[in-house]
A and B are shown apart, each in its own frame.
With several copies, the nearest count.
Chain A
Amino acid sequence: MNSELLMSKIEALLFVIGDEGITAKQLSQLLEVETMEIEAALSELKTNYEQSEVSGVTLKNLAGTYQLTTKPEMADTIKKLVENPTSNVLSTASLEVLAIIAYKQPITRVEIEDLRGVKSDRPIQTLVSRALIQEVGRAEGTGRAILYGTTKEFLNYFGLNSLKDLPPLPDEVLKDNDQDTDLFMTKFQETFAGEEQ
């Protein structure tokens, strides 16, 4: 693979992967290219971003994880976006949390964050303060985490008589799919199956 192609592939992966970032080793596995070569390409990409006046993004390396971010000097511009009421960046976070709670209630904060992939304590707080959601109980187990559900005000807001009026979702859409657990069980059985033979 020539270095331009490699750089473009790395850029595409970094772009899609978002805030979680990706390590040079993972990139090496995905692209089937030596880590050394990946690191050289990453460093060249970074130089390109930094030197380009036209580019608003750059490459950040945090604890071995690479991710694309906006350049520090873009902070003011992005602040404007946040403050602008016509952009729905902010309502999106709240709406996502509200949607999850509406369809999966009762549900804990951790479960919501797991579905969204981002911290959600602040949207939850504001939805509580807007009386669209409320505590409806506590989860079993050690943490006794708060379970959230929607309120009467929620029904009111969306013009619904009851939760049954929400458009139905097919089962597959939000079914739990805890792969980590599956993986653990598989590995566990693989390891200990040997014992019995």
Chain B
Amino acid sequence: MSYEVKLDAFSGPLDLLLHLIHRLEIDIYDIPMAELTSQYIDHIHAMKELELNEASEYLVMAATLLAIKSRMLLPIHEGELEDAEFEVETEDPREELVIKLIEYKKYKEAAIELKELESDRSLVYTRPPSDLTSMVPDQQLALFDAKVNVYDMIGALQKILRRKNLRKPLSTRIARQEISVKEQMFAVVDSLKVQGGKSSFSDLFPYEDKTTIIVTFLSILELMKRQVVSVEQQKNFDELFVILDKEVPDNELRTIDE
């Protein structure tokens, strides 16, 4: 029998065992050790080639399985079973493993429930507290709760990151998606036309966000390169003027590759 073993598919040897038990439709209270052990070892072989991080833990489990298997093969005589003195030693060699598996399974299932909660919660967004620091006297600002500890600092960092994740896109992603250099070239030419073919450099930058400024700047460079516009300056540190040199038919600009 052949099967694919993915490196990240299991979070540990117990997880792998549960997977095998499920797949082989084994009764967890009556594990056929020979079968499970051989399947487990097959998986380990496949995983070993993948340089598994926790290889040692998987190997320890393999040894445990083999030990249980061999203990189960030891002959037990009828007489000993009935003898009260030996009763203590007749526990099932699989018992400890089964208890472990069942205990682990509980938390594995709880983790799945947490995952669902995580995904429900991810649909709901909050906002950062408003910045009210301007409303208070300085000495009040740094008053910490006496219970503040280093973990509260980590919590504070976590909030900053969450907020940053929401903040980032507005200034860049929308612009990245929506404004191309090509589009901005049209906008600059249009704007020059409206202003009679000449505009101060700074008037071409009505937007405040950085990306629009960058894209506008690049589009002016591109227009200069294509000799559609030129830039002049009377003397050092004077204002720059952008001049529309020639009427470019729209279709010529439209052929520009982005």
Contact = CB atoms under 8 A, between A and B. Distances in A.
- Are A and B subunits of one complex? yes
B110 interface: yes
Determine the main DSSP class of B at the interface with A. helix
B134 A116 contact: no
A85 interface: yes
Contact of B164 (A20, A67, A86, A117): A117
A99 B57 contact: no
Interface stretch (B90-98, B186-194, B197-205, B237-245): B90-98
B151 A90 contact: no
A173 B98 CA distance: 12
Nearest to A129: B154
A172 B161 CA distance: 11
A85 B139 CA distance: 12
Contacts of A169: 106-107, 110, 154, 157
B218 A26 contact: no
B127 A15 contact: yes
A68 B176 CA distance: 26
Contacts, number: 319
Interface in B85-116: 90-92, 95, 99-100, 102-115
A116 B132 contact: no
B72 to A, nearest CB: 7
B124 A83 contact: no
A141 interface: no
A128 B157 contact: no
B120 to A, nearest CB: 6
A92 B29 contact: no
Contacts of A166: 150, 153
Interface string B115-155: 10111111111111111111110111111110011111111
Interface in B169-214: 169-178, 181, 210-211, 214
A48 B164 CA distance: 31
Nearest to B100: A117
A187 B29 contact: yes
Given A30-B174, A82-B166, A126-B141, A92 B107 contact: no
A71 B124 CA distance: 6
Contacts of A180: 171-172, 210-211, 214
Interface in B57-73: 57, 61, 72-73
Given A95-B152, A96-B159, A116-B11, A173 B142 contact: no
A7 to B, nearest CB: 17
Given A122-B134, A129-B139, 7 more contacts: A117-B12, A118-B131, A129-B138, A134-B154, A158-B121, A170-B109, A195-B73
Interface of A: 12, 15-20, 22, 26, 29-30, 60, 67-72, 74-75, 78-86, 88-96, 98-100, 102-103, 115-119, 122-123, 125-132, 134-135, 151-153, 157-160, 165-167, 169-170, 172-174, 177, 179-181, 183-185, 187-188, 190-192, 194-195
27 contacts: A16-B125, A17-B129, A18-B126, A19-B127, A19-B129, A81-B170, A82-B165, A83-B136, A91-B148, A95-B111, A98-B111, A98-B114, A99-B110, A99-B153, A102-B153, A103-B157, A117-B104, A118-B14, A118-B131, A119-B54, A129-B138, A132-B142, A173-B102, A180-B210, A180-B214, A184-B29, A185-B90
The 4 closest A-B pairs by CB, nearest first: A118-B12, A134-B151, A159-B121, A99-B153
